Each structure stands twice: as C-alpha cells, then as structure tokens.
Amino acid sequence: MTFLDFNFNEQLTEGLLSMGYKTPTAIQQIAIPVVMEGKDIIACAQTGTGKTASYLLPVLNLLGPHPKHQISALVLAPTRELAQQIDQQVEGLAYFTEISSQAVFGGGDGSAYEQQKRGITNKVDILIATPGRLISFLSSGSLKLNHLQYLILDEADRMLDMGFYEDIMRIISYLPAKRQTLMFSATMPPRIRTLAKSILHNPEQVNIAISQPASGINQQIYKTHDSQKTKLLTMLLNSGTYTSIIVFASTKEKVKGLYKELKAAKLKVNAFHSDITQHEREEILLEFKNKQLPIIIGTDALSRGIDVEGIDLVVNYDVPGDPEDYIHRIGRTARAATTGTAITFVNERDQRKFKNIQQLIEREIDEVPLPPEVGEAPQFKPDADGQKRRNRGGNNKRPGGGGNSGGANSGGQRKSNNNRPRGNRPNNNNKPNNNTDKPNPGTTN
C-alpha cells in the first residue's frame, strides 16, 4: 500500500510525494480510511507508530486545499511541547495547501497570551491547544468554536493522568454537538473507554499492538546496589560510546540530586522537571535537539511528547513502576529505523517490577556484568518482593502485563518554532525537514 491509495487531494499528495513519503504505517493504513469516511474513532497506538499523521492527513484532506479560514479542527494535547510539535507537523504536511494552524498553551508571560490571542483571530483552520489555556480563551469569550467540524484528542490517556478530565468535558460543552471526534491514546485503560463512550458516537475501534519496543533497541540490564548506580552511570556517560542520552529517574528529587552529582563529575548535563520555568524547559529541549546538550535527566514527563532524532542511549536509573512506561521511555531511541541502546539499573527491590516488564514484552533482557571498578553485583534472592508479600500473608497473584504486541518506529524531528509567521504556505527556505511522528521517506508518522 502507498499514500496514493488514499486518493488525497492533489496539493496534499504533491507535498507527500515531493518529500519522498511512500508507505503508510500500520495505524495509518487502518485509521485514515475510517476518518475519511466521517466516522468517529478510538485508536490505541504506541508513541512513534505514526498516529499523529493518522488524524492530520485525513483532516487536512477533508478541509481541502482552499479552506474557509475558520477554526474547523481542534487538537487537544496534554503538554505545550506536544502541541508545538503537532503545530509544526501541520505546517509540514500542509506545505502545498493554504491551510494554517495555531498552537495555544500555558506558560510564558502576558505577551505570550496576547500573541496567541491575536493568532486565533487570524483566520486559522486548525487550532492545537492544551486544555487549560483553551479554557481561558473560551471562558473569556475571545474564542468561538461554532464552526468546528473535527475534534481530536491526542495522548488522551496522558491527559487523564494529568487530571484533565473535567477540563475536557468543559471544553466539549463549548463545541457543536454535530462533529467528528477522533481519540488517540497510547494505552486503553477503563477510564479511556468511559471517556470515549461519553464523547464519541458509534466509534470505530483500532488497536495497533503497543507492547513491543522497536526491534532496533538493544536492551540491557545491570543488577546493582543503589550505592553503585551513580558510579556506573558516570562510567557509561564518560565512555564516549554515546552522544545523545536521556536518563530517567523515578522522582523529581532524584533528578535534582543526580544532576548535581553528574555536574560535579564534569559532565555536560541538564535536568528537566516541574520546578524549572517553562522558558528553561524550552531552552533545555532546544539545546538537546540541536545536539548542543548531550545529556538530559528527567522523570516520566519526558517519556512522551519529546521526539528527538538520533538519541542513542536511554538509561533507566530506576525501574519504572508501570511496564508501559518502560516502553515509552526506551521508545525515545531507535527511531526512524535507527538503532539505539536502552540500559536499566535493577536493584533487588525492583526485581518484581522488572519481571512485569519482561512479561509484557515477552522476552528476557540481557544482563551485562558490572565493571570491576563498580564492585560486585548483588546476588538477588528469588522473587524477593513476592516472598515479602507471602511473609505478610498478602496476595501473591502476579499482576497482569496488559497491552498487546508490536509497534512501529517513527521518523526524525523538526525543531519547534513558536514564532514562525502564520498564514498560507511557508516559503521554500522554510520547508521542514523530516520530523518524528511525521512521515519519513518510506514511511510517515
């Protein structure tokens, strides 16, 4: 199958072909025809499988090459970083059309609010927004969505995780009842299904396997004592083997402490967490994307919504509590058919968590011996956590892994530029490069 089989309008097809995009991913092959038929959809697909283009391409085609220049489509996203990435992807996919877009999100000062306010009154066709900022515009009366035809919820599970359920329902109260609603999620817990039942009308359900990491990821573990982790991490980072690295820790406090230790070891590193300002977050991400910053440390807030080309190492300083979070974390590497390495430090306390991960991905992950300089690896007792629960008389049922199998890679990354001019077609000098969750030569995301 190729993109020609979708029979997109001439301008949209021209843009895809001129950039070398040929073969749709699995989620695109299934979801695009459903959206084109005007049906509501609830789609479950792992980050990096091409879900963003699964809704953008058909919506762009339905809007046509010469839209009415009124807000016809609304994309809700959980974070400003993701909203900016989607906005940039619209610009790339709509390169040969007159369709324009605007991203609105919180953070920044009053001038940012006013700039976004002017943007939404400037005849844009697609609005990409975080829930809080959108409600601010709607409740003030400065934004009307009377002409809305398409509502898209991207990373719906994450929005619920962040407590946006009430905000989503409030936003929907401002929208026309007659609309097409598209919901995309990386996981499908019961609360997502409950939300879908309340806002979708007879939706088609699409479930693309989400529980297998990309095949290009070399997964490894080190069994360590907590006291050995930082020394081992420092050795890995100083090895010269890797050039673009994300380190995931379990808490904000641990991120801060680890940042101080690595800085003291003369490593060029920065920390990404909720206590830094939005401007600082943007600067850190921009430096990382531009390869000016080789190492970034963060919590699971970084595991989705950051799509950077060329990450060659992901380190789980702590084992994530949710097996799905492991997949999201290591999915930052080995994108666009590249290879990458994912290393996890496992202490005795985290044995059970890691067994659940291996159960979910249906494979054993190779253990690497500790370097002699780090000391001897701990000798774990079999099923230590389970034994503790049995000793307390607890329930020893193994938690279910959940999820399915499979998952595709995604493309490269285009840098966000919230100050780019709005309007019709970008000039040739600004033609976007390939970007993640955006179509790549041979595939599109």
Domain of 206, CATH number, reads 3.40.50.300
Task: Please report, for residues 58, 113, 282, 357, the alpha-carbon distance to residue 262 in angstroms, rounded to integers and kept in the order given.
Answer: 46, 37, 21, 28
Is pLDDT of 343 > 70?
A: yes
**Under a CB-based contact definition with an 8 Å cutoff, are residues 154 and 129 in contact?**
no
**Under a CB-based contact definition with an 8 Å cutoff, are residues 220 and 368 in contact?**
yes
Amino acid at site 42 = I
Q: Are 195 and 175 in a shared domain?
A: yes
Q: Can you state the angle between helices 10-18 and 80-93, rounded to 10 degrees?
A: 100
In a domain, 436, yes or no: no
In a domain, 110, yes or no: yes
Across 244-269, average pLDDT: 93
Q: Are 81 and 12 in a shared domain?
A: yes
pLDDT at 20: 65
Q: Is 205 helix (H, G, I), strand (E, B) or coil?
A: strand
Higher pLDDT, 422 or 78: 78
CA distance 59 to 445: 15
Higher pLDDT, 110 or 419: 110
Higher pLDDT, 112 or 103: 103
Amino acid at site 28 = Q
In a domain, 399, yes or no: no
CA distance 125 to 103: 11
**Under a CB-based contact definition with an 8 Å cutoff, are residues 150 and 76 in contact?**
no
Q: Are 197 and 232 in a shared domain?
A: no
In a domain, 408, yes or no: no
In a domain, 118, yes or no: yes
Q: What is the pLDDT of residues 371-423, one digit of tens each?
A: 999 999 998 876 544 444 444 444 433 333 333 333 333 333 333 334 333 34
Is pLDDT of 41 > 90?
A: yes
Q: How many domains does the chain have?
A: 2
Across 307-312, average pLDDT: 79
Q: Are 185 and 231 in a shared domain?
A: no
Q: Are 206 and 224 in a shared domain?
A: no
Q: What are phi and psi of 140, to 5 degrees?
A: -80, -10
Q: Can you state the angle between helices 51-63 and 26-36, rounded to 10 degrees?
A: 30
Q: Are 165 and 261 in a shared domain?
A: no
pLDDT at 387: 46
Amino acid at site 399 = P
Strands (E), 277-384: 295-298, 313-316, 340-346, 366-367
Q: Are 40 and 183 in a shared domain?
A: yes
In a domain, 91, yes or no: yes
Is pLDDT of 270 > 90?
A: yes
CA distance 23 to 4: 9
Q: Are 51 and 131 in a shared domain?
A: yes
In a domain, 192, yes or no: yes
CA distance 261 to 381: 30
Instruction: Please give the share of the chain, as a percent, with pLDDT higher than 90.
Output: 47
If you ran DSSP here, which 8-state letter would residue 241 be given?
S
Q: Are 196 and 227 in a shared domain?
A: no
Angle CA 286–268–376, to nearest 5: 125
Across 133-152, average pLDDT: 94
CA distance 335 to 102: 27
Query: Strand 269-272 to strand 245-248: parallel, antiparallel, or no bridges (unpaired)?
Result: unpaired
* Lowest mean pLDDT, pick from 76-90, 98-112, 244-258, 284-298: 98-112
In a domain, 401, yes or no: no
pLDDT at 209: 63
Write down the mean pLDDT value for the chain: 81
Q: Are 155 and 227 in a shared domain?
A: no
Q: Are 167 and 230 in a shared domain?
A: no
CA distance 63 to 69: 10
**Domain residue limits at 321:** 217-391
Burial of 180 (0-12, 13-18, 19+ CB in 10 A): buried
Is pLDDT of 338 > 60?
A: yes
pLDDT at 250: 86
Q: Are 333 and 420 in a shared domain?
A: no
Grade residue 106 by pLDDT with cuts at 50, 70 and 90: confident
